[in-house]
Structure 1
Amino acid sequence: AAPVTSAAAADGTVVFADDFESGTVSAWTRQRVDGNGSITVAPAPAGGSGLAARFSVPDDGVSYRSEVAVNSLGWGSYRFALADYLPADWVRTSTETILAQWHGYPLADGSDTKPPIALTLKDGGWRLKVHWLTDPTTVQEAVIPLGDAQFDHWNQWAFDITWSTDTTPGAITVYRDGAQVGAYSGLNNYHQNQSPYFKTGIYRANWNPAKNIPYPTGGPDVVAWSDSVVVTRY
C-alpha cells in the first residue's frame, strides 16, 4: 500500500485503518455503487505498492457513485490520512467529483444534506467544501482552493479536523504531500446526534438521474484509487 506522509502527524489513538492488503473492502461498514460502477481491490498503479481500492463510475447516464464508508467515529479531534491516485487520462471537467467526504444525516425537515466536509475536484483543481447550518434547514457553504491536481500521482492527504459544537468553533487543516495547502476555522457540521461519517471513492452528484441535469454521455469511465487510510484520534 502507498505510504502516507504528512506534516505534524497526530500523536494519538488509531481508531480506523485499512491498507486494502486483505484484498477486500470488508473493513468498511458499507459499500455503495449506484448504477453500473464497481469497487475492486487490485495492485496499486504507478508509484504505489501492494494493493489499493479501485473505484469506477461509467459515463452511461445512470451511474454516479462508487464509495466505501465507515460509521461515525465520534466527536472531538481527528486526523484522517489517506492516499489517492487519479490516472493520467482523467478527463478535466466542470462536473464536480467528490473523492472523499464526511457526511451528515437528514435535516429536521427530512431533507438530505450536503456533506459537511468534502474533498472535491473541479476543472483540474482540488477544493475543500465546508457546509453548516444557520437555522434548522438553511445550509451555508465555504469553498477553500487546495491547488492544482497532479495526475498519474499518488496524493498523500491528511485532514486534521476538530468538529465544531453548538458552543465552540471547529477547525480543519489540510496537508497534501507533506505541505499545508488549506485551512478553515468555524462551524463545520450540522451538530446532529452523531458526528459525520467518512467516505472515500467517487461521487458525481450531477450525474444522478434523479436530478434531471442533462450531460453528454459516452465518455470514458471515471476511475480513482484510494489506499492507506488511517484515522487517528488526538
Structure 2
Amino acid sequence: MKRLLRLAPFALLLPTLASASIVWRGDFETGNLSQWDREQSVASDRLQVVSSPVREGRYAMKVTVRKGDDPINASGNRNEVLSLKREAAGSEFFYKWSTLFPSSFPSSPKWALFTQWHHDGNGGSPPLEFYVVNNKLTLRLGGSSGKIVWTAPMQREHWNDFVLHVKWSPDPKAGFVELYHDGQVVVPKTMVATQYAGQGNYLKLGLYRDESISPDGIVFHDGFVQATRLEDVMSTAVATPEPGPAPNPDTGAPGQSAPQDEPSTGPIAQLPSDPGDSSLPGPGGIVPGDSSLGAGMVPPTAGCGASATGGTPLLVAAALTLAALLGRRKALAPARARRPRSSRR
C-alpha cells in the first residue's frame, strides 16, 4: 500500500501529460529570440524584440529588411528566425501567429515572403509559403509549380491573425491544409501534398523578398504557437497586454505594450499559380535554401511538448516507471509467500 501511495503522484500526472496540446511556443515572451533555433540576419537591428506594437502578451518581433541584406549568400534579401524541428510525414498540427504590416510597408509587384515552411533541399520554392505581392496576402502550396489557394487584400496597421491546420505528407491523398484568417475559415480542409518526397520541413518567420525591392521593409510577428488541438490556438478574444518597461533588443529587457486592432476578414481566391510570372516566388529569382540546413544534417532533438498524438517523452518515462514498479511488486509477492515463516521480517 505504501508503494502504491508513493506512485500516486505519477498516476495523477499521467492524465495531465496525455492531454497536453501545446507543442512549442515562439511567441517572444522570453523577451528575446531564445525560443528559436537560429537567426539569419545581417545585423542585430534587423530582428528585434519590441513591446510596441504587440498583438498579445508583452513582446513581439520587429523585422527590418533593407536592400542588399543577404545573410546566407543566396538570392533575395532577408532577415528571418528559424525553428528546426522538421515535422515528420504523417504528423498533424495547428500553428497560430499574428503578422502586422505597418503603413510604411512598400507596395511592390514583386514577392515578399513573411512565413514559410521550407524543405530540406537547397533550391526552389518551399512547399508552403505565405507572401505579399501587389498588396495581396497569398498562400501557395507546392512551390513554383504549385497552386495559390488563398489571397486577400493586405491591410496595413492591422494584425492578421492566422491559424494554419496542416497534416504533413508528400502524398496529396494524405496531406491537407486548413486556414483561418482573423477567426474565419478562409480555406476549408483541402487535400494536398504539403511536403516534397523524402524531405522534411522547417519553419522560417520574418521577411524575405525579391532583391529588386528598394525601400526598407518592416513587418511585425507575434504569438507563434504550435499545438495539436484547435482550442489551444483559436481563442475568442485576445488578452489586452499589460504595460511594462521598454525592452533592449540585445538583452531582452522588458518593454511597453500597445493597444490591439480589431480583426477583419478577406475573401477567398483559389487560383492556379503561373510559374512564368517573375513577380511570384519561383525559379525567376527565389532560391530560398541554406546549405547548412540540408537533408544530411541531423535534426536537433525536439524539446518537451506533446507529439502529434498528444504524448510526450516525460509521459513515456513516467508510464514505463509506473509499469516497472507495479510489475516488480507483483513478482515479489509470490516469492514472499513461498518463504518459510521464520525467515520473514
TM range (shorter): 0.7 to 0.9
Q: Shift of residue 88 of structure 1?
A: 1.5
- 1:15 maps to amino acid: V
Larger Rg: 1 or 2? 2
Which residue in 2 is equivalent to 1:112?
123
Matches within 5 A, 1:8-47: 13-33=21-41, 38-45=46-53
Percent identity over the alignment is 21
Seen in structure 2, the aligned counterparts of structure 1 residues 47 and 80 have a Cα distance that, compared at 3 Å, is closer
Q: Shift of residue 186 of structure 1?
A: 1.8
**CA deviation string 1:60-110 (max 9, x = no partner):** 57671111111113331111100111102212111111110001012xxxx
Seen in structure 2, the aligned counterparts of structure 1 residues 118 and 37 have a Cα distance that, compared at 3 Å, is farther
Q: Shift of residue 41 of structure 1?
A: 0.3
| Whole-Å separation in 2 of the counterparts to 1:191 and 1:168 | 13
Equivalent in 83, 97, 115 of residue 100 of structure 1:
115
Root-mean-square deviation over aligned CA pairs: 2.5
Question: Number of matched residues?
Answer: 203
**CA deviation string 1:3-54 (max 9, x = no partner):** xxxxxxxx96211112212111111111102589711101131765511111
| Whole-Å separation in 2 of the counterparts to 1:216 and 1:222 | 9
TM-score by length of 1: 0.78
Which residue in 1 is equivalent to 2:305?
none
TM-score by length of 2: 0.54
* Structure number with higher helix proportion: 2
- 1:31 maps to amino acid: E
Seen in structure 2, the aligned counterparts of structure 1 residues 51 and 37 have a Cα distance that, compared at 3 Å, is closer
Choose between structure 1 and 2 for higher RCO, CA contacts under 8 A separated by at least 6 residues.
Answer: 1
Which residue in 1 is equivalent to 2:96?
81
CA contact (8 A) 1:125 1:149 kept: yes
| Whole-Å separation in 1 of the counterparts to 2:58 and 2:213 | 36
CA contact (8 A) 1:35 1:65 kept: no
Q: Does 1:126 align with 2:126?
A: no
**CA deviation string 1:127-170 (max 9, x = no partner):** 111116xxxxxx63111233111110111100001112448431
Which residue in 1 is equivalent to 2:105?
90
CA contact (8 A) 1:65 1:202 kept: yes
Equivalent in 215, 222, 225 of residue 230 of structure 1:
225
- 2:53 maps to amino acid: P
Seen in structure 2, the aligned counterparts of structure 1 residues 37 and 191 have a Cα distance that, compared at 3 Å, is farther
Q: Which runs of 5+ in 1 are unaligned?
A: 1-10, 133-138, 208-214
**CA deviation string 1:151-202 (max 9, x = no partner):** 1011110000111244843111111110112244222220225x31111100
Which residue in 1 is equivalent to 2:161?
156
Which residue in 1 is equivalent to 2:191?
185
| Whole-Å separation in 2 of the counterparts to 1:181 and 1:23 | 32
| Whole-Å separation in 2 of the counterparts to 1:155 and 1:232 | 19
Seen in structure 2, the aligned counterparts of structure 1 residues 73 and 186 have a Cα distance that, compared at 3 Å, is closer
CA contact (8 A) 2:165 2:177 kept: yes
| Whole-Å separation in 2 of the counterparts to 1:197 and 1:54 | 21
Seen in structure 2, the aligned counterparts of structure 1 residues 191 and 61 have a Cα distance that, compared at 3 Å, is closer
SS at match of 1:27: coil
Deviation larger for 13-22 or 79-88: 13-22
